[in-house]
């Protein structure tokens, strides 16, 4: 499994944006108000990541389990997603941000699927930062689709069972184009990864914030980066081995 070299700023940051509904309830507002407020936090973390030289920022926008939420909330989230794609694409393009969307798109409305394709096409030349949005995404789904892809190659005679290795599985994941996450942040006070990038987070540093997502802005992300810089990433080795290699 490929790992990123040690550096003070992560190459790839993954964020579970949690706490929107609780942020709204605390203010006696409907849940969708929290999601709308969370858009400002998205802009803030994109700004910091671009400034700090992060290569990839992956945001967990909508999980495959989120369809279980009340129908009205899901509908409002889909409308917000569609409007955000159309509204933000110009800002992303002007700032050199390339947008990529991962997940099973088959369940989204045709209008939203087209908006995803349009936004990706319009930002395809971005080189400053790659923004990956995980929508209708689940880590288990990602591994399952990778296994199906490899099984198809075996059936077609392109691959043998003995050739299926960890790198082969990793190359079949939806995130294969980017380095593995170095840092995974979850806001909202929960301490779990909730089916997000299950394979990819094997050696990521985990950082949990009690702030609700709409309150997680520039300063909060810089604090997370400072915490990351203080950690020793061993990838199975000992501290003495790392010291001898430095």
Q: Which residues are catalytic?
A: 18, 66
What is the spatial distance between Cα 243 and Cα 152, in angstroms, rounded to a whole number?
Answer: 44
What is the spatial distance between Cα 99 and Cα 48, in angstroms, rounded to a whole number?
Answer: 16
Q: Which H or E run contains 13?
A: strand 12-16
- Backbone dihedral angles phi then psi of residue 192, each to the nearest 5 degrees: -155, 165
What is the spatial distance between Cα 34 and Cα 128, in angstroms, rounded to a whole number?
Answer: 29
What is the spatial distance between Cα 13 and Cα 3, in angstroms, rounded to a whole number?
Answer: 14
Query: What residues does 14 pair with on adjacent strands?
Result: 58, 184
Cβ atoms 64, 20 nearer than 8 A: no
Give the residue among 60, 63, 88 at the shortest CA–CA distance from 186: 60
| Alpha carbon 213 to its chain's center | 14
What Rg do the C-alpha atoms of the chain give, in angstroms?
19
Mapping DSSP onto H, E and C, the string for 97-135 reads EEEEEECCHHHCCHHHHHHHHHHHHHCCCCCCEEEEEEE
Dihedral (C-alpha) 114, 117, 123, 126: value to the nearest 10 degrees?
A: 160
């Amino acid at each position: 499994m490929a790992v990123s070299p040690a550096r003070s700023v992560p190459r790839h940051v993954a964020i579970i944006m949690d706490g929107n509904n609780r942020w709204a309830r605390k203010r006696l507002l409907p849940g969708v108000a929290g999601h709308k407020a969370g858009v400002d936090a998205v802009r803030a973390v994109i700004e910091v990541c671009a400034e700090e030289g992060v290569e990839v920022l992956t945001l967990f926008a909508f999980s495959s389990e989120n369809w279980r939420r009340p129908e009205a909330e899901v509908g409002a989230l889909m409308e917000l997603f569609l409007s955000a794609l159309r509204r933000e694409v110009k800002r992303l393009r002007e700032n050199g941000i390339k947008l990529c969307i991962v997940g099973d798109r088959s369940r989204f409305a045709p209008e939203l699927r087209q908006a995803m394709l349009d936004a990706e096409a319009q930002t395809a030349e971005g080189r400053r930062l790659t923004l990956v949005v995980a929508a209708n995404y689940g880590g288990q789904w990602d591994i399952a689709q990778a296994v199906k892809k490899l099984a198809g190659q075996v059936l077609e005679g392109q691959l043998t069972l003995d050739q299926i290795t960890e790198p082969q599985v990793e190359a079949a994941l939806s995130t294969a184009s980017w380095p593995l996450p170095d840092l995974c942040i979850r806001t909202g006070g929960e301490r779990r990864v909730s089916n997000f990038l299950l394979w990819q987070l094997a050696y990521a540093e985990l950082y949990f914030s009690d702030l609700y997502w709409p309150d997680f802005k520039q300063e909060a992300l810089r604090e997370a980066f400072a915490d990351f810089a203080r950690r020793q990433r061993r990838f199975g080795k000992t501290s003495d081995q790392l010291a001898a290699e430095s």
